[in-house]
Amino acid sequence: MQYTVEHDVRCDDLAQQLWGDRTRYDLIHKYNRNLGPAPHLLKAGTILTIPPPTTAGGTESPDARLQVVRNSVSVEAPAPRPGKVHDALYRGNRVATADASSAEIGFRDETDLWLGERSLVVLLGDSRSKVGVSNSASLVSGKLRAFLASTAPSLDVRSGSAHSTVGPGEAQVTVDDKKATRLAVYHGSSSVSASGKTVPVASGYGSKAEFQRAPTPPRPLPLAPAWSTPLAPLYLTDQPTIDVSAEYRDVSPPALHAAAFHVQLARDAAFHDLMVDETVPSNIVQLVAKKLPVGDFFARVSAIDGDEFEGPYSAPTEARVVGLQVVPGPSHAAVFALPPGGAYCGIDGKPPQKIDGSLSVSRTREHRVTCSLDNPPTATTTTVVPADTLHPRVKDAEFRPSARDPRSGELRMTLVDGNGGPLSDISVGVAATDAATVHGELQALGEGRFAIPITCANGANRFALTLRVNGVETAATGPVAIAPRTGARSEPQDEPSNVAFVASFGVGILHTGPRDWSDGDLEPSIGADFLTGLKSSELRVGGRVGFEHVLTSEDVRDFLDVSIPLSVRLGAGRLRPTFGVAPILFRAAAGGSNNTSLAGVDGRVGVETPVGPGALFLDAGYRITTTATTAGGELDLSGFVGSIGYRGM
């Protein structure tokens, strides 16, 4: 049930109002864990959760209760039994802690006693005492740290042959193996008495009373250490736990230098739920906390001098560990549940942005996530989110040849994960190829579609590629046909059509005369011809208009011819063989002569190599024509021919 505080009140006074038993303030603490360290002064208007009145129960009011139990704590009341939180403690009860154990005892007036490890205390308070009467205890061994409210009565602690009176504030009483008592005061003032002498001890000082000897004059306590490298405010991890560390330094003057440090790490700001509570030598100035789970953590450290006086705790450094939750399914999502109020996070080096609630990252590839609680950041934390196991597969692999070369083109494919979902945000490289050579970079087309330019080997009708996804997993295309598959789904593309216009220009020589080369003359021929028509990647057909300037032994003859060349190009390499034939339809002498040669054929073989948008060519062959009759007599233009030039592709 909910209860609203009507006016400023302490927990024990409120327990008296609610249940008639001021010792049941523990119920207020139990149901309201957010009150922080005791003592509490509840402000008017504070809303509390309280149990029904019957929960208080009981007829006898205990002197104190166990508030915190860590590891092994026992209570003798009168027979020994394991101590539990909220156990009632009465006069004469003994509370003992074992190694790596601790306990907190709360009195009715909200005085709190903290017992360190290997400590034994006997309660001497009277169960019938009223507020204003001192609480008392006997510390047989170990360490007792007392926290008293400003309105609480003093606490009497008997130890060895000494008697300490702890006033409001904070102080620590210890008893060593030689029964020497040490009183260290951190806030307020206290006193220690032994052998008939009482020594008042102020805040920041301590006094020691060896067994059956008077207390020493107060001496300064070591100063609280400072954090050289505190815990980061925020840690991100994709593992169940994380290792963290922090460094501290001694800031006391040389006369008070630490001989040891007392280090604590807890899950709560009050340091009740301790995970680490150790005393380490002075040369160890680093707190290393291994395998911290998700949650909030607090660390503090104090210095202990050569005479075993412990100084005040440092200011706490705190951290929050945020874990990664992997969302199963084809989305391969990873989610960080960020702290209340969000955080400023950047992914893969991008500027940080304010993100509330949670941060989702795709695990289709590795990501580097950097977050801070403020912007500009005072402290950042970075974690690497590894790529998920994708089990990639290639789907719909299709080779698309270019218009210029049937063995050059691009492979288009879809990459999917083991569940069939498209893989878009991944890195892909070619790990191996079979019967193909890769050119350029893989291009992402979206929705898991990719394209990569390749050239197939001569004579191959199939090829295969092996892909490496995220540098770890592999996927194979399987055999891919070089020729486009029949009925394959076509998609819009910007490749040029196989129909185009080309032009060529060449110069050459012509040998005329007897065909056995014995009596004829080698007569240079300068010709220019322009070829236009249709083309495919291997076959050309069109029309040619040629002009020849023939130098004979008697005179100069110019001829004009019209033919229809048909040529074939082989291969797709740098040197491409060609051969063709050109029927001559019309041939006439220039200069108005009506003497003509109406028939002929021109056959050639050669080679070409790509240069720029076209190709250089070199060919040779033989021409057969009818004899031309001119004013100077008959002229036989048959003979060996050759030319060199440049043509469009």
Contact in structure between 426 and 417 (CB atoms under 8 Å): no
- Express each pLDDT in 23-42 by its tens digit: 777 788 877 877 877 778 88
Percent of the chain with pLDDT strictly greater than 70: 80
Cα–Cα distances (Å) from 395 to 103, 230, 413, 448, 616, in that order, read 65, 52, 6, 10, 41
pLDDT confidence of residue 501: 53
Cβ-contact 183, 192 below 8 angstroms: yes
pLDDT digits (tens, 9 = 90+) for 386-423: 888 899 999 999 998 888 788 888 999 999 998 888 98
Q: Which pairing describes strands 614-625 and 628-630: parallel, antiparallel, or unpaired?
A: unpaired
Residue 527 to residues 244, 272, 506, 636, Cα–Cα distance (Å) = 86, 104, 7, 17
Look up the CATH number of domain 64-220: 2.60.120.1440
| Pair 381, 374: CB distance under 8 Å | no
pLDDT at 33: 75
CA 621 centroid distance within chain:
69
8 neighbors 42 (Cβ within 8 angstroms)? yes
Q: Are 286 and 280 in contact (CB under 8 A)?
A: no
Residue with more model confidence, 92 or 572? 92
Structure tokens at 566: 């048909």
Q: Mean pLDDT over residues 342-369, rounded?
A: 89
Q: List the structure tokens of 637.
A: 């233009």
Structure-token match 């109002």, residue found:
17
Going by pLDDT thresholds of 50, 70 and 90, the confidence category of residue 164 is: very high
Contact 569, 540 (CB under 8 A): yes
Count of residues in the chain? 649
| Residue 69, pLDDT above cutoff 80 | yes
Task: Indicate the average pLDDT of the chain.
Answer: 81
Please give the average per-residue pLDDT across 487-511, as a whole number: 51
Percent of the chain with pLDDT over 90: 35
pTM for the complete prediction?
0.56
Q: Interior CA angle at 30 toward 315 and 156, to 5°?
A: 65
Q: Among 326-330, 400-404, 561-565, which stretch is predicted with the lowest mean pLDDT?
A: 326-330
pLDDT tops 90 at residue 60: no
Reference 255, options 201, 203, 309; nearest CA is 309
State yes or no: pLDDT of 224 exceeds 90: yes
- What pLDDT score was predicted for residue 589? 65
Looking at residue 203, what DSSP letter applies? T
Identity of the residue numbered 262: H
The pLDDT value given to residue 56: 47
By DSSP bridging, strand 234-237 and strand 317-327 are parallel
pLDDT of residue 16: 76
pLDDT band at 136, cuts 50/70/90?
A: confident
635 pLDDT tier (thresholds 50, 70, 90): low
The answer, yes or no, to whether residue 169 has pLDDT greater than 80, is: yes
Residue 503, pLDDT score: 61
Residue 535 near residue 516 (C-beta atoms within 8 A): no
pLDDT band at 449 (very low <50, low <70, confident <90, very high): very high
Residue with tokens 């006074």: 13
Q: Express each pLDDT in 620-634 by its tens digit.
A: 888 888 776 655 566
Sort 30 into a burial class: Cβ within 10 Å, 0-12 / 13-18 / 19+.
middle
* pLDDT of 499 strictly over 50: no
Fold classification of 504-648 is Porin (2.40.160)
Residue 91 confidence (pLDDT): 83
Structure confidence at residue 544 (pLDDT): 72
Residue 49 confidence (pLDDT) above 70: yes
* Structure confidence at residue 97 (pLDDT): 95
Q: What is the structure's pLDDT at 359?
A: 86
User: Is pLDDT of 217 > 90?
Assistant: yes
Q: How close are the terminal C-alpha atoms of the chain, in Å? A: 90
Exposed, middle or buried by CB within 10 Å (0-12, 13-18, 19+), for 585?
A: middle
Handedness of CA 35, 41, 45, 51 (dihedral sign): positive
Q: What is the CATH number of domain 393-481?
A: 2.60.40.10
**Token pair 């915190």: residue:** 68
In 3D space, the residue among 575, 557, 577, 570 whose CA is nearest the CA of residue 634 turns out to be 557
Single-letter amino acid, residue 460: A
pLDDT band at residue 597 using 50, 70 and 90 as cut-offs: low
With bands split at pLDDT 50, 70 and 90, how would you rate the model's confidence at 552? low
Q: Give the span between the Cα atoms of 617 and 575, in whole angstroms.
A: 10
pLDDT band of 201, cuts 50, 70, 90: very high
376 prior amide bond cis, ω within 30: yes
